[in-house]
Amino acid sequence: MGKAIATTRERILEQGLALMSQAGLSGVTLGVLAARVGMSKSGLFAHFRSKEEVQIGLLDYMAEFAAEQVVAPAMKVEEGLPRLKTLVAKWFGWTRRAGLPGGCPVAAGLFEFDDIRGPVRNKILAMENEWRSLLTVLVRQAVEQGQLRGELDVDQFVWELCAIYLGHHAAYRFLHSADADRRAEAAFQALLKRAAPPISDRSRTPHKAAKRVA
């Protein structure tokens, strides 16, 4: 019985993630989701007690899904700039490659819930802060490796990187720009170029890395 319940909940979350990607968090209601899954609203109510509980559950499910698609591959790459570049490459346009019919629910939720106080907004805020913290860690590691300049304003770098992602999201999803990927990559490369250490410092990078390993 417990396995059957878990399977049903998994099916609800899978269908809900696709719906959330297309219709946004506000578009995920018990009635709409029940119809999509092919069950009664009362049946769905046995798994989620409210619309907010569904939305938060879907955000948690999306976080796990994104971690497999974006974070896990990057963590297998060498620490420093290679890891940061891999993460960004997997991050930009990840929903399309993951087979989701719409864009990133969190990116959309930043605007959808900007003035709507409550547990769903708090969840989105916590997820966004956690993501930016991860980016900050990876950028700092690149600085420590000597792959980015030592005096780099890491917070500003992360701010601009997130702005590029949101710009890519808007260009791809709303404007349907065919060059969204190319322009996002160009913006990221320009950001890296401005953050690169002076040429004289780059020649010492292998020594710094070797000392760190030792």
What domains, with CATH codes, occur in the chain?
A: 51-213 (1.10.357.10)
Q: How far apart are the first and last CA of the chain?
A: 54
Contact 154, 139 (CB under 8 A): yes
Tens place of pLDDT per residue across the chain (214 aa): 344 445 888 888 888 888 888 888 888 888 888 898 888 888 888 888 888 898 999 999 999 989 999 999 999 999 999 999 999 999 998 988 888 877 888 988 999 998 989 999 999 999 999 999 999 999 999 999 999 999 999 999 999 999 999 999 999 888 999 999 999 999 999 999 999 999 865 555 544 444 443 3
Which alpha helices (DSSP H) does the chain contain, by range?
2-23, 30-37, 41-45, 51-66, 72-75, 81-91, 94-97, 105-112, 119-144, 154-173, 180-195, 199-202, 205-213
pTM given for the model: 0.85
Rounded CA-CA distance 175/164 in Å is 15
Helix count and strand count (H, E) for the chain: 13, 0
2 DSSP 8-state letter: H
Contact 127, 185 (CB under 8 A): no
